[in-house]
Amino acid sequence: MNSYWTVVRFTFMNRIKAKAFLVTSLIFAVVISLGLNLPAIIDALSSGKATKIGMIEDKAGIAKTLQETLAADEKPNLEIVLFPPAGGTAEQEEQALAAKLKAGDIKGYLLLVDNPAVGFPNGVYKAEKVFGSGKQNKLEEALRQIKSQLLSQNAGLTKEQLAKMFSPVAVQTLQLSAAGTEETGGKSEAERNAAFALVYALLFVLFMIITMYGNLIATEITAEKSSRVMEIIITSVSPLKQMFGKITGMFLLGMLQVVFFVVIGLINLAATKDKLDSIGLDLGSIPVSLIVYFLVFFILGFFLYATLLAGIGSLVSRTEELGQAIMPVTMLSLVSFYISIYGLSNPTSSFITGASFVPFFTPMLMFLRIGMVGVPVWQIALGFVSLGVGIFVFGWLGAKIYRIGVLMYGKRPSFKEVFKAMRAM
């Protein structure tokens, strides 16, 4: 047993001192910090001067009302600059606005074009640099409100009736638990938003850690074979102890990196809590059980992919051939990740439900379902059983391959040759 822990310690210390580990950890720490501070960054970048839009005053007072409506925003990013009528044709008025644009007084101008079919003019915005869809939607919404107000006033409605007409209608959504009742696990919109953000982030971490460290295990084994160090190692450590020692060492390294990322995330969340609350993300509503499920699926998923990649890595004698050899397993993890991204918007589909019981997909998809919807306990238990059986089968298979692969040099053996060697053992 001492030799096993020697391999664990050597693998862990050898990798933690590597510059690649430190640089990668710092890069992802920066990415996590930027992601969690993104609302504040966007707010800071968009807190500049409002876009000035020129308009000619009209008899109906639409331009004046639009100016007042946009100015009433808490943080207005559009400003209507009114100009008196030029007293000429529509073309002459547009030429006057174009002159103001050329002089730099405005960033663009808005024309009102009659539309008798709806009883309200259409807007045509012209500028050298048009604004994005966000500002366009705000402009359209403001004009839509003005249209409704004018049509209501023409219908002779009182102020009280107008207030009732335009008062917002609140729709509260509450997701029921798997048992179908609100009291046993209903999720409010804020809780679902928080769960969505956390599940998305943790799925990415799950995919990144499993893929990256699984590939590192295969790379290290192949490098030892190519340098003939493997021949020396197996004289003092049995192949199975060596394989699982490397996997355990890489697992501890991965857990250390996950803890580091979590600490960075908590620090940034503490600094941006108010901003996240303002956009409907109540991270305090996330249950602790979701974090526990993440850790469990991370551990099980890591060992499932790591045992297979270790076995495949033992069959390759040159690092140049490793990428092609591990491609099938890498594709499985990619498919699992992409299905999970699809499942974020449709977590209750029968496809996601069925795929969550496939061992290669269970770590991500079952965790996704637990985080996003109510999952019956028996389905969670079945997922664990499926994943446990998969780990046992592929762990046994990976160990068998590893035992014969570490001493097979030269051309990468075919599956038929590997199978024949396994039967002979």
Decide if 42 is inside a domain: no
Domain boundary among 149, 164, 179: 164
Quick one: pLDDT at residue 181?
A: 40
Query: pLDDT exceeding 70 applies to what percent of the chain?
Result: 75
Q: What is the per-residue pLDDT across 405-416, written as a single tens digit (0 to 9) for each?
A: 665 555 555 555
H-helix segments, 284-413:
288-315, 322-325, 327-345, 350-355, 362-372, 377-405
Decide if 182 is inside a domain: no
Decide if 179 is inside a domain: no
The answer to whether residues 288 and 409 belong to one domain is yes
The answer to whether residues 83 and 109 belong to one domain is yes
Quick one: pLDDT at residue 411?
A: 54
pLDDT tops 50 at residue 117: yes
The domain total for the chain is: 2
Contacts of 7 (CB under 8 A, 6+ apart): 237, 241, 242, 245, 246, 249
Asked if residues 402 and 239 have their Cβ atoms less than 8 Å apart, the reply is yes
The answer to whether residues 154 and 235 belong to one domain is no
Domain boundary among 164, 195, 229: 164
Decide if 132 is inside a domain: yes
Query: What is the average per-residue pLDDT within 300-320?
Result: 79
Query: pLDDT exceeding 90 applies to what percent of the chain?
Result: 1
Decide if 136 is inside a domain: yes
The answer to whether residues 158 and 269 belong to one domain is no
Query: What is the average per-residue pLDDT within 286-312?
Result: 82
Of residues 388 and 310, more confidence is placed in: 388
The answer to whether residues 29 and 59 belong to one domain is no
The answer to whether residues 231 and 155 belong to one domain is no
The answer to whether residues 340 and 207 belong to one domain is yes
The answer to whether residues 157 and 243 belong to one domain is no
- State the residue range of the domain holding 285: 2-36+187-424
Decide if 11 is inside a domain: yes
Burial class (CB in 10 A: 0-12, 13-18, 19+), 188: middle
Domain boundary among 99, 131, 164: 164
Q: What is the per-residue pLDDT across 75-104, written as a single tens digit (0 to 9) for each?
A: 777 888 888 886 677 788 888 888 888 888
Quick one: pLDDT at residue 176?
A: 52
Q: What is the per-residue pLDDT across 291-300, written as a single tens digit (0 to 9) for each?
A: 888 888 888 8
Decide if 14 is inside a domain: yes
User: Residue 367 — pLDDT band, cuts 50, 70, 90?
Assistant: confident
Q: In this structure, what CATH number is given to the domain that contains residue 77?
A: 3.40.190
**H helix or E strand, kind and range, residue 126:** strand 122-126
Quick one: pLDDT at residue 227?
A: 62
Decide if 400 is inside a domain: yes
